[in-house]
Every structure is written in structure tokens, then in C-alpha cells.
Amino acid sequence: MPAREWPNVGARHAPMSSITDTSRSRLPAPRDPAPLRAERRPFRDNPRLVLLGIVLLIVALVAMLRLADSSAELNPDFLSEVLLYALSAADLTMLVALLFVLARNVVKLIVERRRGLPFSRFRAKLVLAMLGLTIIPSVLVLLVGADLIRSSTQRWFSQPVDQVLRSAMQIAADYYREREGAVASHADRIARTLPADAVEAGRLEPVQKLIAGEVAQGRVGLVEVYRIASSDVRTVEPFVAAQSADLPRGHLRATADRMAATVLAGSGDTEAHEPLDGGGELVRAGALILDPQTRRPVGVVVASDHLSGDFRQITDAYQRYTQLRVLRLPLQGVYLSVFLMMTLMILVSATWTGLYLAKRITRPVQRLAAGAREIGAGHLDYRIEPETRDEFGSLVEAFNTMAGELAASQQTLERSRADLERKNLELDERRRYIETVLERIATGVISLTPEGRVQTINNAALKLLELDRAVIGRPIDDVLQREDLRPLEVLLRPSRSSGAGTVPGGHEIALAREGRELYLAAAASPLQREDGRPEGAVLVFDDVTPLIRTQRVAAWRDVARRLAHEIKNPLTPIQLCAERLRRHFGAAPPAARDLVDECTTTIVGEVESLKALVDEFAQFARMPAPRAVPSDVNGVLDATLALYNGLFRDIRIERRFAEGLPAVRLDVEQIRRVVINLLDNAIEALGGSGAPARPDGSPPTIVLSTALDTVNGVARIVVADNGPGIPPGDRDKLFMPYYSTKRRGSGLGLAIVRRIVAEHGGSIEVTDNSPTGTVFTIEVPV
Amino acid sequence: MSAKKIGFETVKTGDNRNGMRFGPLVVALALLALLPAADGAAQTIQVTPLAREDRVLVSFKLTDAFTEEVRAAIHSGMTVTFVYDVQLRRSATLWVDRTIGEATVTASVKYDNLTRRYLVTRAQDGRTERAENLDEEETARAWLTEFEKLPLFRSSALEPNAEYYLRVRAHTTPRNAAFVWPWGSDIAGLAKFTFLR
């Protein structure tokens, strides 16, 4: 039943239900509380690691500065083959790292903005501002610094310095060349001057005297004489040497030995120079000592002279300068690489720091927003782990406290909701039970609002009053304005006078239903709230028609029994007296005798009729209970119809028996009597023997049929005729005792028929046949 | 045979008065200028193989190697080394060419501005072969860039009537490497030959 029909029960709880439903939708199932886990802190949140990173960064920057500072002193190969490559690779790596950091965070920001995450716009702006504040100055510094490096390296090489160094180098080289030539010249001259025989013979004095003089005169600083070895003419051995006291120490004799061997071997490379530990170098030149006659070498003279270290310093200075110029590009590259790397390191660090700060600023707010969303979604066990002890940390603590209190409130609310739900279910069950009872009972119930409108109406009331559910909400006065329901207005009259809705008490009200009378036991009860205010009324109807009928039948049975007793007793003496009169006047004159015969015959005949009438009444009064046994309905009907074979030739009696009828528990004799009664009535309605054709030309016909209604579990016996039919006004009285439309009928036939059918647990209905006639339908349970 | 440039770039000193005015532009151009420039002079390596007895004799000559940059580097007194990577390879149709043998020939020169002499040294696979003091630049150039019949590979590993080729790649150290992209490319020369026995 829709809740609309019984709002007095459901309506009271509807608000409760709505609260319950709302609470269900708003309060999802509680989630298991997630414990606050101590997550591993990332690098950025570890102050020690951050400090270590900063220290390493500073160390790297200092190391690079030192490296750049000393790059001019580095080996050119190392500079151009290792250092520049390494720095360039490091720069590229750093650049890739920077691009990666930027791209990653830009993509993250874009994704966050597209997802519409909270604070994504704020974070994007913050990040962009920090990147701008970092990158723009860094790039500008890089550009300006690179230009400064380039111009500074170019300023290393000025034209005057270049000319001075070049000239100095030229002078030094010329002087060196001159000294080299002079020493070679002295060596040749000494070789020619030395006595070859003395050298060959190994006489020291002349040789020593000569070379000592050369040294003493300062032409050369050192003269070393070698003579051909006696064992091998292709080797030389030291013979004698003379050295100036001013000649620095530290020169190696092996150098002179090697030169002597070279000169003896005939090599053109007769000049050499030997660096000295104390600075400067020794310029050496060798010459063969030839025998004047044979031109055969007998020895070698190696003359050496000291050259000041200033020349070498000039040379070194010039070479460093020119090397610096040659290596300008790699050096510039190193400086730029170092500078670029420092810029990139600062950029990466600043970018990362900027992103980190942006995250540090927005992260707590985001976490709070996420927490608020979780709380809003009903996840009251959600907590935010405080990461800091600052104001954000206090805010997080306050949030967690609020969430805890909300969770406690929600638990209380949940308990209340569960209790309310349980009570609501109980009430709902009770309401359903009452609804079911009201719908199943045969008593009609109508509830009225205080304004007199129909609030609810159950099925029995709808059926009894032949209403539909459209009456719900209509004023009861309007509903009862219908002609056949006007008798019910008596239930409402007192209400208007008393103002109490209706007057309590029962009424027996008869309503006309298609020519029949429907007897209702009706009562109206006003409803009041606890505070005494009227809450409407309830009208209750009970169909008491069967009860009334039973009461009438019982009365008629009593009447019949009394009538049979009171009438039948004097009939026998009357009959006997009439027969004595006939016998007494048997010898009387014919006229008198005929008169007496006629009168006595009439008396006896009427007495017989009265006896038969009284017997029938007695039988109605003393009808025994049926002795039902499983019987073949069709067989019973066949046997009954056999009694009519050949009796009514003008009436066609048809059999339309259903096949496969199950056995039905019947009292065969009583059912046969029922069928005979119905057939007799039909034959009489059609005109009996010599029945004329029907007005439509069809022959008078009686159809006896059977059917099985498996749905309702009944067997039907139908007796239909095409006679004139029964007026609707007489149908209700048909089954009443002593009601007959026949001239000589006792009026008990159909009353007995209905009683037999009723005592078999069945029912009998009379309806019109089509186009004319009457149909009696008997239903007995299978 | 490819033709590229190796060696040092010309270093020019000049007026820098306008350097700061067009700072960023100059820097950007400078970054580009610091890249190895393509010189007009085409350097080549002429390679000549010769199979003799059980050796593959390799002759090669690096032309136009003594650019102004190289001469400046040599005359600055730093040791300049010409590095030649020689590979004996055999062509493969469906796969990368197979390397039969490899050798590294280096020729270094150190110029003494005081004595005006070139101390040149030749080495093969790190082993010093010869050293000379030369007075003439041309002689030093020939010493550094021209190699005659170096017995670098044994021919016993070669297949008769098969075609091989010699590839010589050359570069100098120190490189006149530049900022941004110091990785330069070598000069390479190639000569095919059929090994006949």
C-alpha cells in the first residue's frame, strides 16, 4: 500500500525517515583510522643534508675558482685535453639538470593547474616569480661576466708587451747564437793549435799549457781535450781539461764525453747546450784534432762557455707569453666553463630552493585544504601530520583537534542514528503490520482528517461502498452524496452538532446494491490527540448481510417448524371427516351425492396440498447436514438429467460438461435436489410442457454445464435458460424462504438450494443470460 | 678522403672599446666564435700502402698541417704533438668493417726560441723511435707530417687477393679547443689496396 494511504502512521515518521536518509547520505561509513606514520624525511627536509649540500657546493665553487686561477699554469695538454672537456661535460650535465628541474616542475605546475588542485595557481605564480628572480639576474650576470672574461683575456696581449718580449727574445737568441758561434770558433781554433803529436802521445804539459792559456784569457770557460783510445780508434777518452774559476759548478762531464764521441763520429751536430743547476747553461762546441800531415783525427776538443740564466728567463717569459696567447681560447673556455658552471650551480640551487620554498609555503595550506576535503567527505579519522612547529604547525594541530571533536560528535550521532533507525524500523514494522491487517480484514475502515476529508481507506471499505482510491483527499460529505451512500450520512450528523467529528456508536444501515440490500454495521469514532485536540475520525463498516440472512432463515425455519406442527395436526381429521361424509352420502340422491363428492374431493385434495406444503416446510426446517463423499460431478448431473428424458419435448436440454473434472466432495442426493430444483424452475420459466418458441425464434433451451476453475480451486455447475429472466429487484429475494414468483410455489426451493450449497462450502449466484434468460452458477470447492 | 682542418686558430688581439656597448650580443657571438672555426685551408692526409715481404709499409703525409696556428703554437715553445691513428681494416658488406691492426704514430716538436732549434721526436705506440735537433722549420715540418714506409703491420694476417684499406686519423695536441663544445673532429685519410702474395 502506498504510504499516502496511511499517512497517519507513516507520516509521523516521515521526517524521521528523511533525517535518517540524509544522515546516511552525509555520513559515509567510517574509515579505519590511519595511524600517523613516521615517513622517511626527504632530502629537502633534512637540515643536516641540506647543510652538507651547501658546504659541498661552496667547496666545489672554491675548488673551481682555484682551478680557474691556476689554469694558466697547467699543462697545455691537460688544459685542452682533460680540463676543458671535463668542464664542458660538467656544464652540459648541469644544464641538463637545470632543464630537467625546470621542465619537471613546470610540467607539474601545468598538471596541477589542469587538475584544478587547490593553490595550484598561487604556487605557479610563486614559482614563476622565484624563477624570474633567479634566472633573469643569473643570465644577465652570466652574459656580462662572459663578456668581461672575454675582454679580460684579450687585454692580456697588448701590442707593446708583445713587441718588448719579441725584441728581448730576438736579442737573447742573437746573443746566444753569437756565443755559440764564438765557442765553436774557439773550439776549432784550439783544435788546430793543439800539438797533435802530444795529444796522440799522451803528453799533458804542452796541451795543458795551451788550453790553460785559453781559459786564462777568458775566451772560453772550459776546455776539455779527448784523445783517441788506444784500444779502439772509434772511441775517445778524456785526456786533459782546463776550467775557469768563474765557471759555475754542476756541469756534467758526460755531456762533453757524448759530444766528443759525436764529433769523432763525424756528425755535423757539433754544438750543444747544457743547463746548469745553478742557473744559466753551458754552451758547448766540439772540434776534431787532426794530425797536420795525415789529417787523421787524434783527438777532440770540447770548448764550453757559460751563458747567463737571464737569457733563458727571457726565453721562458717570451714562451709563456706566446703560449698564453696560443692557449687563449682553451683558457678562455676554462674560465667561461667555470663561470658558467658556477652560474648553473647557483641557478640549479636557487631554482631548487625556490621550488622548495614555494612547496614549503603552499604544502601546509594544500595539506590543510586536502584535510578539509577529507573531513567534508566524512573521513573524520583523517589527520595531518605536523611537519613544523611554527604557525602552520599550530594550525595543523588545531585542525587535528577539530577533526577529533568532529569524529567524537559523529560517533555520538552515529549511535543516535542507529538507535533512531532501529526504532524507525520497529515502527515501520508495526505500521506495515497494521496496514496488512487493515487491508486483509473484511471490515471497511475510513480515516478522516480533522477537516473531514478522507485520509485513508482500506480495500474492504472500497469494496463495500464501491468506491475507488480517488476519494482520498475528498471531503467525506461529497463522497456520501452519492445516492446509494446517503444512508451513511447518519454517521456524520452528530459531528456537526457536537463538533467532535462523529458520534460514537453503531448503526445498522442498509444500502441498495443492484436490487439487493447490503446491510452494514457502521460505527464512527472521533480521534483525539493527547492534548485533546481533534485529529479526525474513523469510520468502520462491517458487512452483516450474511448474518441478517442467517437470522432470517433461522426465523423462517422456526416458523416452518411451528407451522408444520400447528397445521398438519388438524389436517388428518379434516381429511377423515371428508371421507366419512362421502361414504355417508354414497346412498343419497344423485344430485346430493354428486355435490358431496365434489365438495369432499375438493376438501381432500386441498388437505393433500396442505400436507405437501407442510411436509416441505418440515423438510426445510429439519434438513440434515450433507454427507459429502468424493463424487463425479458430471455423473451426478447425467443421472439427474436422465429423469427428464422424454418429459419435455418442446424444451431442449443441452449438456456441456467439462472433461477431466476432479472428484468433488458432494452429498449426491442433496446436489441432485439442487439441480432438479433449478431445472424445474427453468422449465417452468420456459412454459413447461408445450413451451412456445422464444420471441427471437429460438427454441426454449436449458444448458447444464460444468467447468473447473483451477485458479480459485472451485468446480462450477451452471444452469442457464433463455427464458424471460428475473427482474433485478427480485434477485435478492429469490433465496429468501417463502418468496416465490410462482402461483403455487412454497417459496422454499431456492432457499433450500442456497442452504445446501452453503453447507457444501460453496456459493450460488444468479445473473442474467444473454440475450434473455437466467443463469444460476454454483461453485463448490474442489 | 676527407678534407678538414686541424690545429690552432689564429689569435687576434684588437680593440675592445665597443665590447661592453653590445655586451649580450658580443657575448653570444663570442660563444659562437669560440667554436672551432672552419678554415679555408683544406688539410688532407695522403696515405700510401705497400705490402713488402711480411710487412705492410705505410706512408702518409699530412698536407697543409703547418697552419699559422700550428706554427704559433710550435714557436711558443710548447710541445706540439701530431698524433696519427693508423688502422688496417677490411671492408665488410653486411657488418661493420673489421679492424686487422692498429698503431699510433706520434711526432712531437718542441721549439727552443733561444737556440732556434726544433727538437723533434717520433714514437710508435708510445715507443720513441727517433729524436733530432733541427734548425730548419721546413725540415721539422717534414719530420712531423711526412712518414715513409713505416712497417706498422704484419702481412701474415692478411688474406691474399683480398681488399683492405688503411685509414689514418690525425690530430694535434694540445687542441685549440673552445668553450661550449671542445670536442673537435680529426682529419682522416684512407687508401685501399689489394693484398697480393
How many Å apart are CA A780 and CA A663, to the nearest integer? 11
**B window 154-183, beta carbon within 8 A of A:** 173-183
Cell digits of residue A688: 413447461
CB-nearest to B11 from A88, A319, A325 is A325
Give the pLDDT confidence score for residue B38 in this predicted structure.
Answer: 41
> What is the SS3 assignment for A456?
strand
How far does Cα A159 stand from its chain's mean position?
82
> Cis (ω within 30 of 0) for the bond into A475?
no
For helices B23-33 and A120-155, the axis angle rounded to 10 degrees is: 70
Q: Which residues of A touch B23 (CB under 8 A)?
A: 143-144, 147
Give the pLDDT confidence score for residue A41 in this predicted structure.
Answer: 56
pLDDT in tens, A551-604: 877 787 777 777 777 777 788 888 888 888 888 888 888 888 888 888 988 888
Per-residue pLDDT at A778 exceeds 90: yes
Question: Is B31 part of the contact surface with chain A (CB cutoff 8 Å)?
Answer: yes
ipTM tops 0.85: no
Closest chain A C-alpha to B8 CA, distance in angstroms: 8
Give the pLDDT confidence score for residue B105 in this predicted structure.
Answer: 95
Which of A369-383, A449-463, A502-516, A761-775 is least confident? A502-516
Give the pLDDT confidence score for residue B179 in this predicted structure.
Answer: 63
Check if the beta carbon of residue A274 is closer than 8 Å to that of residue A248.
no
Per-residue pLDDT at A214 exceeds 50: yes
Beta bridge partners of A193: none
Question: Is B112 part of the contact surface with chain A (CB cutoff 8 Å)?
Answer: yes
For helices A545-584 and A749-759, the axis angle rounded to 10 degrees is: 130
Query: Residue A439: exposed, middle, or buried by beta-carbon count in 10 A (0-12, 13-18, 19+)?
Result: middle
Closest chain A C-alpha to B184 CA, distance in angstroms: 11
Question: Is A333 part of the contact surface with chain B (CB cutoff 8 Å)?
Answer: yes
pLDDT band (50, 70, 90) for residue B1: very low
Residue carrying C-alpha cell 802530444: A198
pLDDT in tens, A648-679: 888 999 999 999 899 999 999 889 989 998 99
How many Å apart are CA A764 and CA A675, to the nearest integer? 12
Give the pLDDT confidence score for residue A24 in this predicted structure.
Answer: 39
Which of A188-197, A400-409, A734-743 is least confident? A734-743
Phi-psi region of A556 (alpha: psi -120 to 50; beta: other; left: phi over 0): alpha
For residue A338, what is the enclosing H or E element?
helix A328-376
Per-residue pLDDT at A387 exceeds 50: yes
How far does Cα A339 stand from its chain's mean position?
56
A25/A668: higher pLDDT:
A668
A23/A564: higher pLDDT:
A564
Give the pLDDT confidence score for residue A10 in this predicted structure.
Answer: 36
Check if the beta carbon of residue A301 is closer than 8 Å to that of residue A187.
yes
Per-residue pLDDT at A14 exceeds 70: no
Give the pLDDT confidence score for residue A631 in this predicted structure.
Answer: 92
Question: Is B116 part of the contact surface with chain A (CB cutoff 8 Å)?
Answer: yes
How many Å apart are CA A367 and CA A373, to the nearest integer? 10
Mean pLDDT of chain A, nearest integer = 82
Distance (Å) of CA A114 to CA A109, A117, A356: 9, 8, 21
Closest chain A C-alpha to B158 CA, distance in angstroms: 35
CB-nearest to A146 from B27, B72, B173 is B27
Question: Is A179 part of the contact surface with chain B (CB cutoff 8 Å)?
Answer: no
Closest chain B C-alpha to A36 CA, distance in angstroms: 51
Give the pLDDT confidence score for residue B28 in this predicted structure.
Answer: 46
**Which residue type, as a one-letter code, is found at position A518?**
L
Closest chain B C-alpha to A168 CA, distance in angstroms: 11
pLDDT in tens, A420-429: 999 999 999 9
Give the pLDDT confidence score for residue A79 in this predicted structure.
Answer: 73
Give the pLDDT confidence score for residue A421 in this predicted structure.
Answer: 93
pLDDT in tens, B55-111: 899 999 999 888 888 899 999 998 999 999 999 999 888 888 899 999 999 999 999
pLDDT band (50, 70, 90) for residue B32: very low
pLDDT band (50, 70, 90) for residue A18: very low
Check if the beta carbon of residue B122 is closer than 8 Å to that of residue B50.
no
Give the pLDDT confidence score for residue B43 in this predicted structure.
Answer: 83
The reply to whether residue A315 touches residue B34, judged by beta carbons under 8 angstroms, is no
Closest chain B C-alpha to A315 CA, distance in angstroms: 6
Q: How many CA atoms within 13 Å lie on the side-chain side of B129?
A: 16
How many Å apart are CA A124 and CA A111, to the nearest integer? 11
Concatenated DSSP letters of B98-153: EEEEEEEEEEEEEEETTTTEEEEEEEETTEEEEEEEES-HHHHHHHHHEEEEEEEE
Residue carrying C-alpha cell 593553490: A119
- Of the residues B67, B113, B134, B186, the best mutation for testing chain A's interface (the one with the most A CB atoms within 10 Å of its CB) is B113
Give the mean pLDDT of A755-762: 87
How far does Cα A550 stand from its chain's mean position?
68
A92/B18: higher pLDDT:
A92
Question: Is A73 part of the contact surface with chain B (CB cutoff 8 Å)?
Answer: no
How many Å apart are CA A452 and CA A433, to the nearest integer? 26
Please, what's the b/e burial string for B5-14 (b: 16 or more CB within 10 A of its CB; e: otherwise)? bbbbbebeee
How many Å apart are CA A303 and CA A306, to the nearest integer? 10
Give the pLDDT confidence score for residue A196 in this predicted structure.
Answer: 87
Q: Which residues of B touch A159 (CB under 8 A)?
A: 13
Which among B77, B147, B139 has a CA at the least distance from the CA of B106? B147
Give the pLDDT confidence score for residue A504 in this predicted structure.
Answer: 54
For residue A152, what is the enclosing H or E element?
helix A120-155
Residue carrying C-alpha cell 774557439: A186
B189/A387: higher pLDDT:
B189
pLDDT band (50, 70, 90) for residue A779: very high
Return the top range by mean pLDDT from A330-339, A359-368, A557-566: A330-339
Q: How many CB pairs under 8 A join A and B?
A: 132
- Of the residues A83, A147, A175, A320, the best mutation for testing chain B's interface (the one with the most B CB atoms within 10 Å of its CB) is A147
Per-residue pLDDT at B124 exceeds 90: yes
Name the residue of chain A whose CA is nearest to B24's CA: A143
CB-nearest to A146 from B30, B69, B177 is B30
Question: Is A710 part of the contact surface with chain B (CB cutoff 8 Å)?
Answer: no
Give the pLDDT confidence score for residue B184 in this predicted structure.
Answer: 64
How many Å apart are CA A94 and CA A348, to the nearest integer? 8
Check if the beta carbon of residue B80 is closer than 8 Å to that of residue B140.
no
CA torsion B173-B174-B178-B184 (nearest 10°) is 10
Give the pLDDT confidence score for residue A15 in this predicted structure.
Answer: 35
pLDDT in tens, A491-532: 877 544 444 445 455 788 888 876 667 888 888 888 888 888
**Those residues with Cβ within 8 angstroms of residue A358's Cβ, 6 or more apart along the chain or in another chain:** A123, A126, A127, A130
Pairing of strands A297-307, B187-194: unpaired
Check if the beta carbon of residue B145 is closer than 8 Å to that of residue B61.
yes
Give the pLDDT confidence score for residue B3 in this predicted structure.
Answer: 37
Give the pLDDT confidence score for residue A572 in this predicted structure.
Answer: 84
Closest chain A C-alpha to B122 CA, distance in angstroms: 18
Beta bridge partners of B166: B88, B191
The reply to whether residue B78 touches residue A323, judged by beta carbons under 8 angstroms, is yes
